[in-house]
Amino acid sequence: MADKRKRRRADPSSSDEESDGALPFKKHLKSDATILTSLKALTTSSATPSTSKTLTLSDLSLSSTCREVADLPLTSVQSIIETLALSLAKSILSGSGFSFSVPSRSSANQLYVPELDRIVLKDKTSTRPYSNVSTVRKTTITTRILQLIHQLCLKNIHVTKRDLFYTDVKLFQDQAQSDAVLDDVSCILGCTRSSLNVVAAEKGVVVGRLIFSDNGDMIDCTKMGMGGKAIPPNIDRVGDMQSDALFILLVEKDAAYMRLAEDRFYNRFPCIIVTAKGQPDVATRLFLRKMKLELKLPVLALVDSDPYGLKILSVYGCGSKNMSYDSANLTTPDIKWLGVRPSDLDKYKIPEQCRLPMTEQDIKTGKDLLEEDFVKKNPGWVEELNLMVKTKQKAEIQALSSFGFQYLSEVYLPLKLQQRDWL
């Protein structure tokens, strides 16, 4: 009986209903060799060096003055802090008290630059005086953070944001407060947050066709098991990247990542799979950018078919408003939206019971995204978002599991790659 079932499944002349019963659309797949040939052409075009110079803010004549931070060595950070401390001391001795001039990171002080395809910070600043009762606490926190960063410079060590918080819990009260001031300090000093030697705890992971050195140790990401290699929080210790991959697959969620890693999708279609397990952290954004620029590989993104999936994709590609001051170092150019897209729900016949109704907040978020310049510049994104808002339906990547747990790796992604179906 089992043999009969096997013969029936393998018979290409069987009816559509029978052949699609287990894995719909699998009959449309061409051979892996044919798909790989198409992908090699994509990789070649991505690796072709551009004759045009990479644009920077200084190359553009913008109506608004914008600011960006730079990746500075510890000695420079230390010197800037000491110069700032000296000027504050002089102000106090002259009887003027002291205050910080802090670049505003509010939404009103953000600007999307189409030529750069990323969000940047404009030059509006606010004064944070110690003598004002409404700002005295935040000014104290700013001073304390500067003192701690100076200690890190002297000792040449890294700490996590959590470590920083626990140095003065009574003052900071909540880690969100010390984290926010840490970003303010980066803006004040004009350096990237990585330059401060303060990192977030490890979150992102990578697996697949990638070899790189981590603080001198060579890491082969094909031999890291299903869990993959944790992305180092301090990206400055990562180097010597080597790969025979044809593309980088950026995955929003850990569940989809684990499915692809266990199925060793990267061996069938040579690729590097990376995820931040939800909201992108700084280390994963830096690591993705480093891979893209050094390996010159196309980046294809797999996110949920909801407004938040597209927001996550946009953070990788255009930057976040919270860290727009460092968008030059944190954004990865030209990420393609592979799936899951709103049009895929009908195209791949996702069952109604696997689709979720959008909440009022979801719909509002979708409509807000349609007003964003970084969305408007891509007609394909606008079309997909309009469809999502119109149908009021969303779906997670895991909705594909309704056709089988391995449908994502065996049919959906191979078919997407075969059809070059990305935006």
Active site residues: 166
Q: Alpha-carbon distance 284 to 290, whole Å?
A: 10
| Dihedral of alpha carbons 55, 60, 63, 65, sign | positive
Contact 35/269 with Cβ under 8 angstroms? yes
Rg (Cα) of the chain, in Å, rounded?
A: 24
In one letter, which amino acid is 295? L
Closest CA to 245 of 211, 287, 290: 211
3-state SS assignment for residue 131 = coil
Strands 205-208, 229-230: pairing is: antiparallel
DSSP 148-175: HHHHHHHHT--EEHHHHHHTSHHHH-SH
Closest CA to 197 of 81, 84, 68: 81
Closest CA to 228 of 218, 220, 239: 220
